[in-house]
Amino acid sequence: MSRRALTLLLAGFLVLALGVAGAFQPVPYVVLSPGPTENTIGEVNKKPVIAIKGRQTYPTSGSLQLVTVAYQGGPAAKIDLLTALRGWLDPTVAVVPQETIFAPDRTAQEVEEENTVEMTNSQDSATAAALNELKIPYAMVVGVVSTEKGRPADGKLMKGDEINSVDGKETKDVTAVADAVKAHKPGESVTFNVTRGTQKIDVTVQTVAGPQAQTVVGVMMQAKYKFPFDVDINVGDVGGPSAGLMFSLGILDKLTPGELTGGKQIAGTGTITPAGEVGAIGGIAQKMVGAKDSGATIFLTPADNCAEALKSVPDGLRLVRADTLHSAVAALDALRTSKGDVPACEAG
């Protein structure tokens, strides 16, 4: 073999070796793919996804599938270049920069914990929205989640306290409590009436100046609902807020006579507020693929996701626009009875 041929052979081998080594180098991307689906009027692990106690329920049929997105990668388990390249070639998945999922100052564990909290809040909001749609009254209180170490509330307000009033004025939501504190000048005292255990007590806390010169005491609060009956939602390891709409529909279907789906296989997504407003979500393309794979023929789509969804909707999946819980129920009624309008997604 000539020296020239040997040189070319060695150079080719070196390029191949470097290419193989490079393919397995970690890259700062995350692969998003269709995740598992769950029927909110069905069962998971032989337990109802939605279990209602203390109120009459009714038979259901068909399915109301919540859809999810699975991901590979992240700060603790980076994907390699080869995995990213395969993702870029697969039309059913998305490859996105790592920071779009994990902020630079957040760990994977922190993101998972936040998703768990968001799922819990979503379930409460979904229940509240369903009860509002049915005009079933319920109570809401402001609960203390934690206090900030070193701030005046630390050691005075306790986790689990329910705030009844501030300075003698009833407070029904988190915003009202925060506004009542902000009405003070830093250094002034504010009095909270709280329920702690079985007792109602007054707790006086001195205020201090916080970020943006706002008056604070250093307390983290969360709306807590007191529903007239128990609604228990079981979805295993699923996290995040995007199943809110489907939870609300599942609760409504169980609490009302007749079958909301008409026996159809329906999937959907969207956050939900207690007032029944449906919000946009991420990963719509992957969620539609998951819906189609689960057998769904109809996909309830948040209005703000419609334009994006239309670009990659799978064949055989009908997109129905969902602006509110009420409009989603009306759309399902129209689909079931063939009477009335069914709002469709339109390009923005």
Q: Which of 242, 248, 292, 294 is catalytic?
A: 242
Quickly count: other Cβ atoms within 10 Å of residue 236's Cβ. 11
Together in a domain, 65 and 160: no
Measured between alpha carbons, how far is 231 from 33 in angstroms, rounded to an integer? 31
Contacts of 213 (CB under 8 A, 6+ apart): none
Contact 40, 246 (CB under 8 A): yes
Taking a C-beta distance cutoff of 8 angstroms, is the pair 285, 317 a contact?
no
Catalytic annotation on 242? yes
- Contacts for 337-345 with beta carbons within 8 Å, 24 or more apart? 337/262, 344/319, 344/320, 345/301, 345/303, 345/306, 345/307, 345/309, 345/310, 345/319, 345/320, 345/321
Q: Residue 80 falls within a domain, yes or no?
A: no
What's the average model confidence in pLDDT over 4-29?
55
**Residue 202 belongs to a domain with what CATH number?**
2.30.42.10
Kindly report, residue by residue over 322-346, the tens digit of the pLDDT: 999 999 999 999 999 988 889 999 8
pLDDT band at 86 (very low <50, low <70, confident <90, very high): confident
The answer to whether residues 129 and 250 belong to one domain is yes
Residue 253 maps to a domain: yes
Inside any domain, residue 345: no
**Surface-to-core class of residue 309, CB atoms within 10 Å of its CB (0-12 exposed, 13-18 middle, 19+ buried):** buried
Do 161 and 274 lie in one domain? The reply is no
- State the chain's mean pLDDT as an integer: 86
DSSP 201-260: EEEEEE-EE-GGG-EE--EEEEEEEE-SSEEEE--TT--SSTTHHHHHHHHHHHHSSS-T
Pairing of strands 219-226, 199-206: unpaired
Instruction: Give the closest residue to 330 by CA, choosing from 40, 41, 133.
Output: 133
Catalytic residue among 125, 248, 254, 287: 287
Total count of domains within the chain: 2
**Is residue 156 located within the same domain as residue 222?**
yes
Q: What percent of the chain has pLDDT over 70?
A: 86
**Is 287 one of the annotated active-site residues of the chain?**
yes
pLDDT digits (tens, 9 = 90+) for 101-156: 666 655 666 666 666 667 777 888 999 999 999 999 998 889 998 898 999 999 99
How many Å apart are CA 110 and CA 216, to the nearest integer?
25
Q: Is there a single domain that holds both residue 274 and residue 333?
A: yes
pLDDT in tens, 292-319: 999 999 999 999 999 999 999 999 999 9
Tell me: do 279 and 326 sit in the same domain: yes
Tell me, what CATH number does 280's domain have?
Answer: 3.30.230.10
Q: 36 and 123: one domain?
A: yes
Kindly list the distances between the CA atom of residue 101 and the CA atoms of 29, 79, 92, 117, 323, in Å, as whole numbers in the listed order. Answer: 9, 14, 18, 16, 26
- Identify whether residues 155 and 190 lie together within a single domain: yes
pTM: 0.78
- CA–CA separation, 237 vs 337, rounded Å? 36
What residue numbers bound the domain in which 62 lies?
30-71+118-136+231-337
> Is residue 324 domain-resident?
yes
Q: Could you tell me if residue 258 is inside a domain?
A: yes
Of 63, 59, 97, 64, nearest in space to 78 by CA: 97
